[in-house]
Structure 1
Amino acid sequence: MEPHTHLALHHTRAAELQAQADAYRLAAGTKRPSELRTRLGWTLVEVGLRLASAPKVAVAH
């Protein structure tokens, strides 16, 4: 496939996906993305804290 043809198809598909995302965002309302963003943010904070904390050493008896 020609590189220019491939690039044109890529741009067309990207525009279609963006239009679908915009339509979904409008249908879902404006409140949900911020809730999702907040939940994702706190999840990332939790993961970061788990990675930063010292690992617990298992004690064999």
Structure 2
Amino acid sequence: MQPDIHLALHHARSAELRAQAAAHRTDATPRTELRTRLGWTLIEVGLKLATRPRPATAH
């Protein structure tokens, strides 16, 4: 295959993939926000469970 033809096909396919990715990103935006908040909440709960409670100090 000629290098010029191969390069042209590559550019055409990459443009198609970029268009598909852009369409996918706009559809997934609200769900991504929920997944992010859920992920950080799970990390916070995990850290609270993993840390040892401090002994109570008497005043």
TM-score, normalized by length of structure 1? 0.50
One-letter code aligned to 2:8: A
> Structure 1 residues 30, 6: CA separation in 2 closer, same or farther (over 3 Å shift)?
farther
Distance 1:6 1:21, change over 3 A: same
Cα shift at 1:29: 1.4
TM alignment of 1:28-47, pairs within 5 A: 28-29=28-29, 32=32, 35=36
1:3 aligned partner? 3
**Which has the greater radius of gyration?**
2
Distance across 2 between alignment mates of 1:13 and 1:21? 12
Unmatched 5+ stretches in structure 1: 40-61
Q: Equivalent residue of 2:26, what SS?
A: helix
Aligned residue-pair number: 38
* Closer/same/farther in 2, CA of residues 5 and 32 from structure 1, 3 Å limit: same
Unmatched runs of 5 consecutive residues or more in structure 2: 41-59
TM-score, normalised relative to structure 2: 0.51
C-alpha distance in structure 2 between counterparts of 1:4 and 1:30, whole Å:
41
**What amino acid maps onto 1:9 in structure 2?**
L
Q: Over the residues paired in the alignment, what is the CA RMSD in angstroms? A: 2.7
